[in-house]
Amino acid sequence: MKRLPVLCCAAMAFAWSLPVGAAPAVLAPRAPIPTPVATPVADHHQHVYSPAAAAFMSATSAMRPVSAQDLIPQLDAAGIERAAVLSVAYVYGQPARTLEEEYARVRAENDWVARQAAEYPERLVALCSVDPLKDYALAELARCAASPEFGRGIKLQPAAGGVQLDDPEQVERLRRVFRSANARGMAIVLQLRETGVREARLLVDQLLPHAPGVPVQVAYSGEGEASPQLAALGVLADAAARQDPRMRHVWVDVAAFARPGLSAADARRLVRRLRQVGMERVLYGSDAEIGADVGPREAWAAFRSLPLTDAEAARVANNVMPYLR
């Protein structure tokens, strides 16, 4: 109460100091404070792979093993706290290769990834993977779901297993895997290659209804042209925009699009589609190969170059799937 006279006197002194007839200066309005955009809390699309898997994959391109110790510095450089490490065990199911004890190799690779994640339990979560067309797919899903070494999710990459859309038996095998994952409360990370409108409609019409109670994270391969993938994303975006109930638990993984070199026109199309999906259901993932020019930090910079608002980018940066919480 004693400060009031002082303030009043100061105000009067200021008024008396103005020239006669002069009006007090009006302070310019402050510029709005931009929404801070931190780096992503989590990378939802990372890989580690064993020496055995690297040797197997080197049949088509030179690969080297990637361990958790290789990955963590990359995450640190990008300021990313957590990551999902997705097993590449599904590659052993490719139809072009015949292996003795194939399922044993799939189990071994999944277990190797789990041991790598266990070295950094506060930062990494291992998700096993399997070719959904294989006879052992349901058994491996059940084994991973029962093991505390793995997160509550499974990586499926059916195109690597040669899924034929006109083959009812293959589509039914995929449905069985979706139903099993749903019954066990396992999120599905579905990565699609060489996809387009037809494959996206298959996903919405024939697969999503069989996993209504679990998150489905849809990712597209970073290989090839962006246009077919954007067309496929358009099918999902249109379904989300019309509030199709089958899209209720679908999340879009932007790993394929977090790459330098996306044309300005494709960038605008992508952002329009992501807004239809809803930024609250867009996940950051880098799918970065250790040692390549594009790491998690560069992938996030590429994503930030999209014509998004700061608020939209901040929302994506803070989205985290249940298996990483």
Q: State residue 192's pLDDT score.
A: 74
Confidence of residue 26 (pLDDT cuts 50, 70, 90): very low
Q: State residue 60's pLDDT score.
A: 65
**E strands within the chain?**
42-46, 82-86, 124-130, 153-156, 187-192, 216-220, 250-253, 282-283
The answer to whether residue 95 scores a pLDDT higher than 90 is no
Instruction: State pLDDT tens for residues 241-288.
Output: 999 999 999 999 998 886 778 889 999 999 999 999 999 999 999 987
Tokens of 81: 């706290």
Pick from 20-29, 70-79, 103-112, 115-124: least confident = 20-29
Confidence of residue 24 (pLDDT cuts 50, 70, 90): very low
Q: Among 226, 296, 300, which Cα is nearest to 256's?
A: 226
Judged by DSSP in three states, 174 sits in helix
Contact between residue 56 and residue 92 where contact means Cβ atoms under 8 Å apart: yes
Residue type, 292: A
Distance CA 324, CA 40 (A): 13
Judged by DSSP in three states, 64 sits in coil
- Name the residue with higher pLDDT: 131 or 35: 131
Torsion of CA 323, 157, 115, 293, to 10 degrees: -100
Distance CA 145, CA 44 (A): 19
The answer to whether residue 209 scores a pLDDT higher than 80 is yes
Contact between residue 232 and residue 269 where contact means Cβ atoms under 8 Å apart: no
Distance CA 150, CA 168 (A): 31
Confidence of residue 104 (pLDDT cuts 50, 70, 90): very high
Q: What is the DSSP string of 8-45?
A: HHHHHHHHHHSPTTPPPPPPPPPPPPPPP----SEEEE
Tokens of 120: 């950094």
Rounded alpha-carbon distances, angstroms, from residue 263 to 32, 52, 80, 154: 31, 37, 27, 32
Pick from 7-16, 45-54, 224-233: least confident = 7-16
Distance CA 27, CA 17 (A): 18
Q: How many other C-beta atoms lie within 10 A of the C-beta of residue 230?
A: 20
Confidence of residue 74 (pLDDT cuts 50, 70, 90): very high
The answer to whether residue 213 scores a pLDDT higher than 60 is yes
Q: State residue 7's pLDDT score.
A: 36
Q: What pTM does this model have?
A: 0.85
Q: Among 151, 118, 144, 117, which Cα is nearest to 130's?
A: 144
Q: Among 261, 260, 191, 264, which Cα is nearest to 229's?
A: 191
Distance CA 74, CA 293 (A): 12
* Dihedral class, residue 236 (left if φ above 0, else alpha if ψ from -120 to 50, else beta): alpha
Can you list the domains of the chain with their CATH numbers?
39-319 (3.20.20.140)
